[in-house]
Amino acid sequence: MIRSISRSTTSQEFVLHVPKEYDYRFSHSKMTNVIIEVIVKAHLEKIQSMNLNNSKKDKGRFKFYFHEDVQLNSVQTNESDMKKKISKIPRNGETYMSLDELRVIPSCLHIKFLIIYSSLGKI
């Protein structure tokens, strides 16, 4: 099950962080936001169907990390890292977002605004 997603604010690249496995890094020139939305929706539905108790902080929300890097290899745990028991999943700076909040991000340019908005406690 996916733990979180790292998302570039300067490119269409994103990383799916999967506990006890290596991460998966993707990029799509036109469909990144749609792909992420489908993944988050499926994850939230799975959590709900399993009746897993989420904390108030993340109930109905998904954990994201936003990065200014164009390429996200610095936050991607690869197969070699796993063999060495190294995890590159970010340890802080997470933002929890609902599907509705995620849908208001039409492009990378709006992610920077969302980070600022989130840091002000509006999300």
> Each residue of 19-77: pLDDT tens digit?
889 999 999 888 888 899 999 999 888 887 877 655 555 678 899 999 989 999 999 99
Each domain of the chain, given as residue ranges in start order, spans 4-119
Q: Which residues pair with 63 in a beta bridge?
A: 96
Q: What is the mean pLDDT of residues 87-107?
A: 83
The pTM for the full model equals 0.79
In three-state secondary structure terms, 21 is coil
Question: How far apart (Å, rounded) are the C-alpha atoms in residues 98 and 92?
Answer: 19
